[in-house]
A and B are shown apart, each in its own frame.
Chain A
Amino acid sequence: MPDTTRETSRAFRLGVAGPVGTGKSSLIAMVCRELGDELQLGVITNDIYTDEDARMLRAAGVLDPDRIRAVETGACPHTAIRDDVSANLLAVEDLEADFAPLDLVMVESGGDNLTATFSPALVDAQVFVLDVAGGGDVVRKGGPGISRADLLVVNKTDLAPYVGVDADLMLREGQDARDGRPVIGLSRTDPDSVAELRAWVLAMVASHRDGHHVPVDPGPMAPHSHAGDGARAHSHVHDGGDGVHAH
């Protein structure tokens, strides 16, 4: 069936972005482990050079390997999630069609720098993942993902004592940079933090189902003034590509 007339059960599409090695794949595996029994899941990975992430996730055994697909990005991980989302959009739609009905499709961006964020034409919401090992000052450096992603995760809090970082301070600075948007300090060794992540994902899926969730664009690579952001994010939602459906 032609791509554009496929209206078959659109899943909630969640982007996972953040610098290399901060734990994007681990977070996705965690969500699969935590919610695989209650939600129908799919995963798209965007590796820069290999299909390492897809293979790692398949090997983790947390999801049917057929529901994990890799997209090559032609050495342009930014482009593939922002300027030209075609390859990812088709992969998401194929997954949704092949395993209908899916509740949640997670898209992992190719690990990149602080400025990469997803286009609202590709995802409904996005998580930006940092880790304490990247240094306590990363949050202060800011960027659209840190300031305005739907969720900021400061991962690997268990490592904080070993890398000389004050995880609580990092979380507070994250909160300051985000005008009240949520921040989770996460560690796979801290069940409470895992529960917090789990609850956030479930709430987002529910809000998408009810039609309450409105995608918000964290904005382009250069940070913008706060005054302009609301209007900008709004206009993106309404004039978005055919991947954006206001529900």
Chain B
Amino acid sequence: MLPHPEFAAMLLADGRLPVGGHTQSAGLEPALLGGLEPRDIPDLITTRLRTVVLVDAGTAVVARHRTMAGLPLDDVQLAWAARTPSEVVRAASIAVGRGQRRLAQRLWPGSAAASALAPLRAPARPVAVGSMAAAAGLDGARTARLVAYDDVQSLCAAALKLCPLDPAETTEWLLHAGPGVEAVVVAVAHLTEPDGIPALSAPLLEQWQHAHPTHPRRLFSA
């Protein structure tokens, strides 16, 4: 039996979900090391929601649709990879995608998601999340919201480790990101085809992330 969709969405959005998400900062640490001023972090959130998050949320929505339809996920993964130019960024996403797949197979063994994810060598995070969303019974809108919310909350949680901040302030950022998250939902929730996944890029953010492994002192893997 499927969990209630609200319940399922909360479960999957929990920052403590054991998929390795805590090892990443949604691009914040790379940005700070690249010279972003802490006061500009809310702008970074906005920029991500308008660019890379649209790519990931769109990928997840299409992966969800494909999983429900019993179709393979390879071309969803390829479409995502084509829109994620840095191999460093792809590797970071895949690191969590593998954790996400492991959990999906544990929570929903024998599901369409488990079979769709199994043949992939190493699923990207949004591909695994989208497929898992299918198993959990989320619709396209909830899937997109999950990906966008998770990006912002990961960044906010990481900010507390990286900058001197009042935790209430980062929670405020998250709250204020609500409309931006809903804009992502509106833009991608209906997608069904890999070709329809938005193809936006944020070159400076990607460059910062691409350089991350070369920094000698870092807390996060991405």
Contacts and interface: CB of A to CB of B under 8 A. Distances in A.
Interface stretch (A8-16, A78-86, A183-191): A78-86
Interface of B: 16-25, 95-96, 98-99, 101-103, 105-106, 117-121, 158, 161, 216-221
B19 A2 contact: no
Nearest to A55: B216
Interface string A86-101: 1101100000000000
B108 to A, nearest CB: 13
A75 interface: yes
Interface of A: 1-5, 48-50, 71-76, 79-80, 83-87, 89-90, 241-242
Contact of A74 (B98, B105, B161): B161
Given A2-B119, A84-B16, A85-B18, A90 B98 contact: yes
A86 B20 contact: yes
Contacts of B17: 84
B217 A86 contact: no
9 contacts: A4-B105, A50-B216, A74-B23, A74-B158, A84-B16, A84-B20, A85-B18, A86-B19, A242-B102
B17 to A, nearest CB: 8
A16 B21 CA distance: 23
Given A50-B216, A50-B217, A74 B25 contact: yes
Contacts, number: 81
B102 A73 contact: no
A72 B20 contact: no
Contacts of B19: 84, 86
Q: Which residue among A72, A83, A241 has the maximum number of chain B CB atoms within 10 Å of its CB?
A: A72
Contact of B20 (A1, A4, A48, A90): A90
Contacts of A3: 98, 101-102
A4 B24 CA distance: 23
Contact of A87 (B23, B119, B120, B158): B23
Contacts of A80: 22-23
Q: Which residue among A1, A75, A89, A90 has the maximum number of chain B CB atoms within 10 Å of its CB?
A: A75
A72 B220 contact: yes
Nearest to B161: A75
B221 A83 contact: no
Contacts of B102: 3-4, 86, 89, 242
Contacts of A84: 16-22
A72 B221 contact: yes
Contacts of B220: 72, 74-75
Contacts of B98: 3, 86, 90
B92 to A, nearest CB: 10
Given A2-B118, A50-B216, A73 B101 contact: no
Contacts of B217: 49-50
Q: Which residue among A5, A71, A87 has the maximum number of chain B CB atoms within 10 Å of its CB?
A: A87
A87 B105 CA distance: 17
A75 B159 CA distance: 11
A86 B18 contact: yes
Contacts of A85: 18
A91 to B, nearest CB: 9
Contacts of B21: 84
A3 B123 CA distance: 10
Contacts of B16: 83-84
A83 B22 CA distance: 10
Given A83-B18, A84-B22, A74 B118 contact: no
A221 to B, nearest CB: 15
